[in-house]
Amino acid sequence: MTDSLSIAQNIEDIRRRIHAAAERSGRPASSITLIAVSKTFSADHVRAALAAGQVDFGENKVQEGLGKAAEIAADGSPQPRWHLIGHLQSNKAKKAAAVFSAIHSVDSVDLVRRIDAAAAAAGTAPDLLIQADLAGESTKFGANPSGIPAIVQSALDCRAARLRGLMVVPPWSDNPEDVRPWFRRLRELRDGLVAAGTPASSLAELSMGMSHDFEAAIEEGSTMVRVGTAIFGKRPKPPGV
Ligand SMILES: *Cc1c(COP(=O)(O)O)cnc(C)c1O
């Protein structure tokens, strides 16, 4: 069952909180994109959010995203902007470049080249965000900060894809104040790259903040918050977890 009313109300509530957090950080709310993370939820959930004026949607698996995108495409307009926020295996770069408007999980030079070649062939122009593994968590995806300048350079050399910013998934804590230093660190990493010569417009976006900590992320400079649970509710746990 999809409760369209509560999805619409949740989106309204999140937008209000984004507005307040933007005000606290001295920025217009229009500088912050709300990405509704629809992973594990159905196309009907996406339709309910679309009907409430939501445009940007996040998926963490290429195949699941492609399936939902095809279902929604059959409806006609309005159409979502799809963001890939989960790990991208290089053998799926071609599929991802065809459908996703933005790929937040870029973490190697090889992946940049594959996405760009696929985008050029498909005639698309995906936005690229480089995922930083700031905590050095071996279980997590993302690039080590020391490897990021080389990835930035390869992304600046793209013909079709466009470098837009950085993304982080910090170590889990239910307390946003524990997570805040990681948000600050991503902003500082960006500022350092810009000071070293990367065009600021290529690193304008900071994708950081989820349901429980997006307000702290905005206060630290986030321009893209990825919110799932607070919009669609608790995700069903996969079997065996
Ligand atoms: C699932 C997911 C989110 C959304 O998390 P919620 O806590 O449900 O808001 C954000 N970012 C990434 C990378 C995710 O995988």
Cβ atoms of 225 and 218 closer than 8 Å:
yes
Gap from CA of 121 to ligand 1 centroid (Å): 31
Q: H/E element holding 125?
A: none
Confidence of residue 138 (pLDDT cuts 50, 70, 90): confident
Q: Which amino acid is at 70?
A: A
Residue 193 Cα to ligand 1 middle (Å)? 26
Question: Hey, which bits of the chain come out as E strands?
Answer: 33-37, 56-59, 81-84, 102-106, 127-132, 162-168, 205-207, 224-227
Whether the CB-CB separation of 57 and 35 falls below 8 Å is answered with: yes
Mean pLDDT of the chain: 96
Q: Inform me whether the pLDDT recorded for 240 exceeds 90.
A: no
Within a 13 Å sphere around the CA of 226, how many CA atoms are in the beta-carbon half? 24
**Residue whose C-alpha is closest to residue 209's, from 6, 25, 45, 2:** 25
Distance 130 CA to ligand 1 centre (A): 17
pTM of this structure:
0.96
Looking at residue 62, its pLDDT comes to 98
What atom in ligand 1 is closest to the CA of residue 167? 13
Q: What confidence category does residue 56 fall into, taking pLDDT thresholds of 50, 70 and 90?
A: very high
